[in-house]
Amino acid sequence: MSFASRYLFQGIDYSNSKPVLNPEADVSVGPISTKLWMNHDLDLGVSNEFDLSVLHEWKAKKFSFTTGYTYLWYPHREGWNPSQEFYLEASRDGVLNPSLSVHYDFDAGKGTYSTLGISHGFERRAGTLTLGANLFYQGHYYGLSGIPATEWNVHFEKSIHHTTLTPSLSRFVTWSNGGFRDASAVKSAWLFSFQVARDF
């Protein structure tokens, strides 16, 4: 379960700067997992997004890969049609832990959105402090192409028995480019979130 000060997707605000809750449940059998993620708008009092994913994870030396399919449903969002996507995520352990994810929406979105990230963790007795950065890109996703935002973040992870606590702070920085200008320009914003996760 995560609490977030707003719902930001690639720097784009989908909750009118109001706080949200994001419950998530994951079930894994070997390398195959299913995941249900939802967005609950605390200001409106409705759950307006449900993402159901089926994914396969594997590793090769220092590399980790995930391929998956997601069905996206948007109740309580007038004019938003359900959609579907395939995605591939890859990361490498080591210096700056680079990662790349590419999502292809073949339904309502008819385009791609991608994230290129780097991060570095500092392990201490109290927990792990991680600094990171993400560059977002969209290719004809819902008719828009360009870089909606970059994210600069810091989070602290503390495990207590089977429970993990993770407070995070992010700054999303944007500029006018591609399709993200004029009425489609994205505003720079801060994001605070607090996640509680438990393994069973």
DSSP at 117: E
Q: Which residues of 74-105 are buried (b: 16+ CB within 10 A; e: fewer)?
A: beeeeeeeebebebebebeeeeebebebbbbb
In this prediction, residue 110 carries a pLDDT of 97
Residue range 141-159: average pLDDT?
Answer: 97
Predicted confidence band of residue 25 (pLDDT cuts 50, 70, 90): very high
Identify the CA nearest to 139 among candidates 174, 102, 88: 102
Token pair of 89 as six digits: 């995520």
Summarised one tens digit per residue, pLDDT across range 113-143 is 999 999 999 999 899 999 999 999 999 999 9
Q: What is the distance between the alpha carbons of residues 121 and 154, in angstroms, rounded to a whole number?
A: 10
